[in-house]
Amino acid sequence: MKAPPRLQALVEEGLIDSVVRQLMSGKEAMVFVVRCGDEVRCAKIYKEATNRSFRQAVDYTENRKVKNSRQARAMAKGTKFGRQAQEAAWQSAEVDALYRLAAAGVRVPTPYNFLEGVLLMELVVDAQGDAAPRLNDVQFTEQDALRHHATLIAEVVRMLCAGVIHGDLSEFNILLAADGPVIIDLPQAVDAAGNNHAQRMLLRDVANLADFFGKFAPALLTTDYGPEIWSLYVAGVLSNDYPLTGRFERSSAPVDMGAVLREIDDARAEDAARRLRMQTTA
Catalytic residue IDs? 168, 185
Contact between 181 and 107 (Cβ < 8 Å): yes
Amino acid at 29: A
Beta-sheet pairing, 190-191 with 164-165: antiparallel
- What 3-state class would DSSP assign to 117? coil
Contact between 148 and 174 (Cβ < 8 Å): no
- Nearest of 119, 109, 43, 53 to residue 88 by alpha carbon: 119
- What 3-state class would DSSP assign to 47? coil
Cα three-residue angle 210-211-213, rounded to 5 degrees: 65
